[in-house]
Amino acid sequence: MVEHEGYLYKRGSRTGFLTKRWYFLQQNFLYWYSKRERAKGTDGAAAPGGRDGVSRAPHRHPQGVLFLEDSYVTQISDPALETKGYFGLDVHTSSAHGDRTRTLFAASREQRDEWYAALRRACKAVPFEEVYNLGRELGRGQFSVVREAVHKETARRYAVKVINKTKLKPSERELLRTEIAVLKLVQHPHIIRLENVYETGATMFIVMELLEGGEFFGRIVGRERFSEEEARTVAKPLIESVAYLHSLGIVHRDIKPENILCGRRLQDLKIADFGLSKLVYPDEVMTMPCGTLSYVAPEVLSMQGYGRQADLWSVGVILYLVVRGRLPFDSDDHSEVVRGIIEARVSFNDACWDSWSANGLDFMRQLLKRDPKRRLTARKALQHPWLTGRRRPPAVADSSDAASGLGPSRPADSAWPQSRPSADDA
């Protein structure tokens, strides 16, 4: 079945002149030909559907074809051209080769409106502004702003990341595509839920569920240190979500308090911000150093390759932070932090650890082992007695391991620092 067909004008890429073409819309494919007759069979009739009643592509080979799924169309206003009888609309498409906008013109306002309605049905997408009202700002990044949005029909509230695509480098655009692909793939109670994605030539709107508690970092700054039980309450959902991601071949690569969102209860945590995440094969080794320095694993900084175990180190650093009140390697000297992480001599000599159970200390030491092959995997971490509640004799710390937990002690703090910990990119 042909949804719509007729003449439209396109601007020539070489000459800049408006060229008349016959356009043929079928399902979510838009074909075009130099003349109307080119789109017809030898008898002048459009190609019929098949035996199953499904419409087939036009009879003759088109000059071009555009796949409209997940594209969107907008009307444009150009008074100068409209006085000459050209009424425009833009068709915005995205592909692995990048984003593109094609401008087409109809010979009348009525024809333009008919094409606009037909193309919108084929695209199955509507502009963001027609669905949501933007509200207050929730956060801000280098190229994006996170704002509250309210659905116009349901009045439900969401968080929307508004991204200025014009400021993104090609590599950053690729990371953005990966983030969206991951969010579309995952479905877990402790991972932020993607609602929808809208896009224009210059802007992308990523609509996600709204969590009232904000960033986990905001929950921990300025409060007393976490007890062992509170740390366990935080650890379980984080490990569960990491185990789920790893089962799908996804490595987050930037787990930190700022990328964890909170509900009303402490255990209502959700991992967010998959901008540096990567889909990997089971034994794939990554080499590009990325993440936030304070939470990056030793193997990432040593430039010898790393895998999914880097995420477990990051979780271990977060747990250490909420209990100890400071990062395991905390200094104003960037090189000193790097050296400390690579050596991975994590100290558990502070008095805050004195009340911890043997299983709890064993769990922490197993997460913060320097050698990723000896570090707990997410699956094994979920089976650890500290999380399951089962009893077992604590593992004896191996003094030959640089991450045995033996190291110089630091003066005890009684509360959280009032400023963010080091967040330099590795």
Annotated binding site for ATP: 161
CA 84 vs. chain centroid, Å, equals 45
Cβ density class 52-89: b for 16+ within 10 Å, e for less: eeebeebbeebeeebebeebbbbeeeeeeebeeebbbb
Is the distance from CB of 313 to CB of 367 less than 8 angstroms? yes
Task: For CA atoms 68, 71, 72, 77, give the dihedral sign.
Answer: negative
Residue type, 148: E
| Alpha-carbon gap, residue 346 to 247, rounded angstroms | 29
The pair of structure tokens assigned to 1 is: 């079945």
Q: At what angle do helices 309-324 and 228-247 cross, to 10 degrees?
A: 160
**Which residue in the list 43, 90, 99, 254 is annotated as catalytic?**
254
Q: Please give the Cα distance from 351 to 345 (Å, whole number).
A: 17
Q: Does the active-site annotation cover 254?
A: yes
Q: For residues 424 and 260, what is the distance between their CA atoms, to the nearest angstrom?
A: 18
Counting runs of H as helices and runs of E as strands, what totals does the chain give?
A: 11, 17
Residue pair 176/144 in contact by the 8 Å Cβ criterion: no
CA distance linking residue 405 with residue 141, whole number of Å: 36
Residues involved in catalysis: 254
